[in-house]
Amino acid sequence: MKSTQLAHQLVSDRLEGSEVVVDATAGNGHDTLFLAEQVGVTGVVYSFDVQEEAIRMTRSRLEEAQISDRVIMCETGHENLDEVIRAPHLGNISAIMFNLGYLPGGDHSITTLKGTTLTALRKALECLRDGGFLTALCYPGHDEGLEESVEVLTFLESLDQAHFLTKNYRDASIPDNVPFLVSVQKS
């Protein structure tokens, strides 16, 4: 199973509907659409991206599916998520998905970076409710992605595992440059 599919399966197993969730990297909008479908008509999705193109593509995907009303598009870096997410939702987020790297088919120089990604991950873990779930899909196949992947994994594995259970789904038999998924379950 591809890591993107695995992330969807793990998140959908934990959502029942009506939750508040976050797509930290909107990109082409596949994860935002998935989350919007999962939370249903009474749920809320915050979707972040720094690129106008990604915001536009995501919005049009949602409009086509007629479910844009439950999604708040945020054209800013995920490192600012605590400034954008409404106060009642802070600490009450059920799932947050990071799909790191650059926009497929877009400008590869606009990519997530280890410094802002780590800031965002720290804030995201604070925003999760107890029992909330975070996924981070890492892309070690390009130089910046490799550095970022190492930092992300090191950070998530260094969390107090009594409160944040980290799982690395990287298969040891797979080459080092293949994307891999990490998840954190907050207890």
Residue ranges binding ligand SAM (CB under 6 A): 25, 27-31, 48-51, 54, 77-79, 99, 101-103, 110-112, 116
H helices within 50-142, ranges in order? 52-64, 81-84, 114-127
180-186 and 71-74 strand pairing: unpaired
Identity of the residue, 2 or 163, whose beta carbon is nearer to ligand SAM in the bound complex: 2
Q: Which is nearer to ligand SAM, 148 or 161 (CB)?
A: 148
Shortest Å distance, C-beta 6 to ligand SAM: 14
Neighbours of 94 (CB within 10 A): 23
Q: By CB neighbour count within 10 A (0-12 exposed, 13-18 middle, 19+ buried), where does 154 fall?
A: exposed
Length of the chain: 187
For 165, the 3-state DSSP assignment is strand
Residue nearest to ligand SAM (CB): 27
Cα-Cα-Cα-Cα dihedral sign, residues 47, 79, 128, 101: positive
The residue among 3 and 94 lying less far from ligand SAM, judged by its C-beta, is 3
* Choice between 44 and 124, CB closer to ligand SAM: 124
Q: Which is nearer to ligand SAM, 148 or 172 (CB)?
A: 148
- From the CB of 88, what's the least distance to ligand SAM, in Å? 23
Nearest distance in Å: CB 82, ligand SAM = 13
Give me the least distance between CB of 160 and ligand SAM, in Å please: 26
Closest separation in Å from C-beta 171 to ligand SAM: 20
Compute the distance between CA of residue 74 and CA of residue 184 in angstroms, rounded to an integer: 24
> Angle at Cα 27 formed by Cα 146 and Cα 148, nearest 5°?
15
